[in-house]
Amino acid sequence: MATAAIPQAVPAVLPRHVAIIMDGNGRWAAARRLPRAMGHRAGVEAVRTVTRAARAMGIEALTLYAFSSENWRRPAEEIGGLMKLLKLFIRNDLAELVREDVRLRVLGDYRRFPEDVVALIDDALTRTAGNRGPILAIALNYGAQAELVAAAQSLAARAADGSLDPTTIDAEAIEAQLETHDLPPLDLLIRTSGEQRLSNFLLWQAAYAELLFVDTLWPDFGAEALASAVDAFGRRQRRYGGL
């Protein structure tokens, strides 16, 4: 379980926006001959550790891929357990987020979740809406392809009713329709557990992000692992197509 101390040193080059595909809860549990639910519970502890570490480092925005639109294919019992953990996290950690001036954001159509979960999320969003500190964005029932389809449909509808000249549609116009439109540009995308794919996560936003795939399973990814990832980011040269 991620219990490493929060690093005190701030890296010289700090990404403004870090996103993490939190992968490996099931394998972490299997390696210990524990139920998958215990892996997800350990994963929540890692969320708590990493979000605190990110705040301590001064990262402006942290986006966590918690539940994809494809995760509905999992067994109903596992989905129910994940909903319970989400409720537990909100109930236990909301006061801290409010106190630390964190603004909570949700990416994705979370209104498909059970009514009691939706109510808790709505309350958390309302209570942190006025905060001006770091942003914690949680992707819930999120899929990047669906996000891009929705952006295209919105622009197409405006073009059809004459309120938008289709020849003026550019990258900025599309970005303005995305759920991340008010977040800093994505600098660093991390995936844990050794898998090397984006799994329908922030596909547009990752166009020029630095990608880092680490073997560490998510429950073991703590403050030191985040600091190491940020340090690796600082050593890379970002050319954006130039020399």
Binding region for substrate: 24-28, 36, 40, 68-70, 72, 74, 191, 197-199
Between CA 21 and CA 213 the distance in angstroms is 10
Which residue numbers belong to the known binding site? Answer: 23-28, 36, 40, 68-70, 72, 74, 191, 197-199, 210
Q: Please count the CA atoms within 13 angstroms of the CA of 124 that sit on its side-chain side.
A: 28
200 is catalytic: no
- Of the chain, the end-to-end C-alpha distance in Å amounts to 42
- Of 71, 109, 200, 231, which residue is the catalytic one? 71
Residues forming a β-bridge with 212: 190
Judge contact between 36 and 29, C-beta under 8 A: yes
Phi, psi of 137 (to 5 degrees): -105, 130
Task: Based on the residue annotation, tell me whether 71 is a catalytic residue of this protein.
Answer: yes
Cβ neighbours of 206 (radius 10 Å): 16
E strand segments, 146-223: 188-191, 210-213
One-letter amino acid of 230: V
DSSP 116-149: HHHHHHHHHHHHHTT--S-EEEEEEEE-HHHHHH
How far is it, in rounded angstroms, from Cα 190 to Cα 18?
A: 8
What amino acid positions are annotated as catalytic residues?
A: 23, 71
